[in-house]
A and B are shown apart, each in its own frame.
Chain A
Amino acid sequence: MNSYLPEYFKEFELIWESRDTYTIHLPKENPGKAGQFYMLSSPGIGEAPISVASGHLREMLFTIRSVGTVTSKLPDARVIGVRGPYGTSWPWERYGKILAVAGGIGIPPINSLFDEMVGTGRGKDLEIIYGARSPSDLIYHKQRKEWAKMANVIITVDKGDPNWKGNVGFVTQFISKSETDRDGAVFIIGPPLMMKNSVAESLEAGFRPENIYLSLERRMECGIGVCGHCNVGEFYACEDGPIFQYSAVKHLPELFL
C-alpha cells in the first residue's frame, strides 16, 4: 500500500472564517482524534500538515490560516487530497478536568477536543482560554457559543478595538484564575513564545509538569516519521507528537523555537 497516496475530493465546502483563515469541510468521517493531523494537498500545489478541527468520527473539518506556500493556494484548489490521520492526540480521557489554552490558529484542535468531550457528555469538564491578536482575528463565532453552553470559556485579544468590550491581554494572564482543578491537565497550543509562557504560568498556578501537554508545530513533509524535517531532539514531531507531555520534552533546547 502506498501511504503517500492521498484520497481526493472534488466535492468540498470552503468557508472563510476571517480575512486570512478558512475552513475546509470534507464529506468524510474523521477516523482521527483531537490533536492529530492530516496531510492536506492539491495536485501541483503540494502538501501541508493540518490539525483536524472536528472530533473523532465527525465529518472532517480543517481550519487553516493562509500563510504558507501551500495554505495560501488551497482556497483556489479544485481538488483536495487528504491522507492521515497522523501523530498523537490530546489524552483527555485520562483526566477529570481539562484547561485548554489556545493562541491564534491553535484553536482548531481545541474545537476538535470540545467535540469529542461533548460527545461523551463531558463538555462541562473543559475550560477554554482562547486568545487572538485582535477582535477581527477571533474565529469560530458559532462554535464559541456552543462551547459556552457547556464549558467555562475565556476569550481575550492582545489588542482591542473601539467596539471590543471583552478581555484584553495575553492568554497567559488568565491561567492563574482558571477554575480547573489543579490535578487536571493543561493542553497548550499556539505560537512558541505563547506556549513557553503558558507552561510557566501553568506551573506557577499549581498544575503538574506531567499533566501539561503541548502541540509542537514543525515543518512536516511525510507525516510518517521518515523525512526528517520535524526532528526535535530524540523525537519526530509527526510521529512522537505533535502532542507531547511537557515533562517528557522539557529538556529539549529547541522546544520553544
Chain B
Amino acid sequence: MTPNILPPGLSEKDFNDALAEFRRIVGDQYVFTGDALSAYRDPYSLEDDAKFSTPAAVAPDSAEQVQAVVKVANQYGVPLWTISAGKNHGYGGAAPRMAGTVVLDLARMNRILEINVDSGYALLEPGVTYFDLYRHLQEKNLKLWLDVPDPGWGSVVGNALERGIGYTPYGDHFMMQCGMEVVLANGDVMRTGMGAMPKSNAWQLFKYGYGPYADGIFTQSNYGIVTKMGIWLMPEPPGYRPYMISFQREEDLEQVIEVLRPLKVNNIIQNAATLRSLLLVAGINATRSQYHSGPGPIPDSAAKKIMADQDIGMWNFYGALYGPPPLMDVLWSITRDAFASVPGARFFTPEERRHENDVLKHRAMTMRGVPRLTEYSFVNWVGGGGHIGFSPVSPINGKEAMQQYIMVRDRLAQYGFDYLSVFAIGWRELHHVIELIFDRRDPEEKRKAYEVFGIMVREAAEAGYGEYRTHISFMDQVAKTYSWNDHAQLRFQQTLKDALDPKGILSPGKQGIWPARYRQGG
C-alpha cells in the first residue's frame, strides 16, 4: 500500500521493506497503517496535523522485539518515535515531533515484573498505566501507595521519563525512579545503576551504582528506549488527612507563596501540594458560558459569583498530612497557624465541603495515589475541549510568582483566553503549569493560541523562566531558550545524540535535540 507520508529521505520501496521486517518481528496485527493511525495523532495540535503525522506504528511485546525493531530501523534509516501509554496530552499526545516518523508503541509491554512491599518499589514495563498498577496493588492487598498525575491514565514509566509530577510525598516522579533497562540506538541493551552488576539485588534500591549516573540522560530525551524501570512506592501511612485552604484575593498569591516556602523547605508540607487558580478549580464543575458569554477574559463580577457558587477562592491550596495522628496534629497546627496570617484564609476538610462533586473530594483521592479522570473536565471550560500546557519554573518566591502570574494572565487576556493554572510545589521550586484552553474546532482560536504560546515562551525566557516540559510544536523554541554560553547545553546534547545514535533513528527532534541527519531542517 502507499503510505500517506514517508520518512524523510526514504523510498517507498525501502519503507515497505522495513514495514515487512517489522511485521515479521512483532506480527502483522501489531503494525498499524492507514485508518488505525488516528489513535496516534495529537488531538490538541495547534498546527496542521500533517506536520506531526506518522506513516505507521509498530507495537513490540518485549525488549527483544524492541531491539530487533531498532536494528531494522537502523538498517533502513527509519526514524522511530517512542511512546508508552501515549497520554502526553497537552504536550503532543502520541504524535511524533517530525512528520514521517514511525511510532514505536510500547503499550503492549505492560507487565508488572515485581512488587517489593518491604522495600517499597515496583519494577515495571513502560506499558503499565497508573490504573493498572493501582488495580494490581488493590487486588493483591499490598500496603503500598503509588503517586499519580492527573488524570491517571498515563504510563508510570512514561510519566517519570517526562519528569512528570504527582501529589503525594513521592510527587517528583523521576526522583522516585531507580534503575532502568534501556535499548540503545545500535540495538544493544543495558541496565543502569546496580542493574549493571549481574548478581546485584539492589537494582531498585540504589540509584547510582558506580561511575557516571546515566538514568537522567534517558529522560525527556532521544538517546535510548527504556524497556524496564524501577519506581519507589510509598508505604501506606498510618494516617492521612487531606485539606484545602482558600484565599480570596488575587493579590494574596504573593503572601501565600512566601508562607509556603519555609513550610515546604522544612518539610512541614509533606506532599507535592498544589495551589490552584479560581478557574482551574471552577472548570471541574462548570463552564465559562454558564458565567460569561461575551468575549475576553472572565470579568470580576463573574469571578465573584463563581467563588460564591462553588465556595472556592481566587487561589486554592490542596495539601495533605501523612503519618501517625500525633505527627499530623503537630504539622497541621504549624501549617494552619502559618496560613492564617493571610487575611480571609479559609480551611476545609473534605467532610466540610458542601458540593458532592467538590474538587477537594477528588484531590483527597489523588493525594493518596488513587488514579482518577474527573478533573480532566477542566478541558470543557470553553467548550470544544482543547488544551496545551505552558509550564515555566520559578523559585518558591512570592514576588516572582506574582510577576509570572501577571505576565501570563495579561498576555492571555490580550488574546481572549482565561487564566487557568496550578502552581505545583516542588522541593525548592514552583512548576507554574498554565492550561491554555481553546476550542479545538475553531481554527482562529487555535491560531491565536499558537501565537500567544510562542510569545509567552519568549517573554518568560527573557525574565529568566524556563519551561520544564513543552508541546512538540514548541520543543525547538524552548530548547533555544536554554542558551547559556552560546547554547553549550544543546551542543552537548547534540554531541551525545550523534555518538549514541549516529543514524538519528530515535525520536528526532524530541526536546529540540535533532540528530545530525535532520539538524539543518529541524
Same complex for A and B? Answer: no
B residues with CB within 8 A of A? none
A residues with CB within 8 A of B? none
